[in-house]
Structure 1
């Protein structure tokens, strides 16, 4: 009888520790790859800027945790995302929401739907705002 109790106890330990899911890792994998920034909207002035696909490219390297931005936008847009450069990034998870952090600064909530990535600066781990920007990127 004692052996059955030990086996049950060990089985429960295995179930609760060996079968965990890492949702932040899964979200990071979906984020990986190349994205083109096609729209930035919002802000205090209520802008709505469209960009040609391929003009502003963000490449997420999930292995190294780096983001490479090639910003070749020639317009006079108020906000066209990040300037050209290499950044470190991470994905933060709070409950079932995910947030992008670039160079230790939180950018906003990540919403990925098929081939579209939305970064919402109005939704952060600190709460919701009203005058942040919403960036839309596509594969």
Structure 2
């Protein structure tokens, strides 16, 4: 019975896709696209179902591929909004997930903590840990 439940869950997860594009496009590797400055515009998800929006430029994350550092400049003054990281310099690394392509192809760790799957669409970056009831972070260039 337990195997049947696992099979059912896997079939549901593998069939869920809101991508209507019929082309089989492979997501861009994170190191090819994450480098540079990104503006955090939305933090959403988690168990509480939050959705906190930020004006572009209030919070910036600058990824430097050569040093494997991300510099966060956080000028958000509203302590009621979850803005993820305080201003500072953090180490980051990317991890390829070939065995977990159902969830994501690539993920990012900041200070050794997994922040989730990375995807790019229309010059936007999404770091998504919603599959573990974590946050989804949306950025623009």
**TM category, shorter:** 0.7 to 0.9
The runs of 4+ residues in structure 1 deviating greater than 4 Å are none
Q: What is the number of equivalent residue pairs in this alignment?
A: 110
- 1:75-124 deviations in whole A, cap 9, x for unaligned? 133411211100110110011510011111111000111310011112xx
Which 5+ residue runs of structure 1 have no aligned equivalent?
Answer: 1-22, 123-127
The residue aligned with 2:36 is 33
2:33 counterpart SS class: helix
1:93 partnered with 2:96: yes
The residue aligned with 1:104 is 112
The residue aligned with 2:16 is none
Give distance in 2, aligned partners of 1:36 and 1:42.
18
Q: Which has the larger radius of gyration?
A: 1
Q: Is the Cα contact below 8 Å between 1:90 and 1:102 reproduced in 2?
A: yes
The residue aligned with 2:121 is 113
**Aligned CA-pair RMSD:** 1.7
The residue aligned with 2:18 is none
Q: Is the Cα contact below 8 Å between 1:70 and 1:85 reproduced in 2?
A: yes
More strand by proportion, 1 or 2?
Answer: 1
The residue aligned with 2:72 is 69
Which 5+ residue runs of structure 2 have no aligned equivalent?
Answer: 1-25
1:58 partnered with 2:66: no
The residue aligned with 1:79 is 82
Give distance in 2, aligned partners of 1:77 and 1:61.
29
1:28 counterpart SS class: helix
